[in-house]
């Protein structure tokens, strides 16, 4: 869990990621592929403070 989010905010975000993973699994199964259903979540952090980078400073 990210220390800069409330537990409720983190729970909602986690639910969104799980929903995305399930969608990917369903799409893979429908295409005849192995339905693993995974998403990679990347949240860049500042090396000095280990805090998430502000959206305006994130690499493109």
Q: What is the pLDDT of residues 1-45, one digit of tens each?
A: 456 788 999 899 999 999 999 999 999 999 999 988 788 888 787
The whole-model pTM stands at 0.64
pLDDT at 5: 80
d(CA 3, CA 49): 12
d(CA 26, CA 22): 6
For residue 51, pLDDT beyond 80: no
pLDDT at 41: 85
């Amino acid at each position: 869990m990210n220390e800069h989010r409330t537990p409720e905010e983190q729970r909602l975000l986690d639910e969104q990621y799980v929903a995305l993973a399930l969608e990917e699994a369903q799409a893979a199964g429908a295409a005849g592929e192995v339905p693993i259903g995974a998403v990679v979540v990347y949240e860049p952090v500042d090396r000095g403070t280990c805090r998430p980078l502000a959206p305006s400073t994130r690499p493109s």
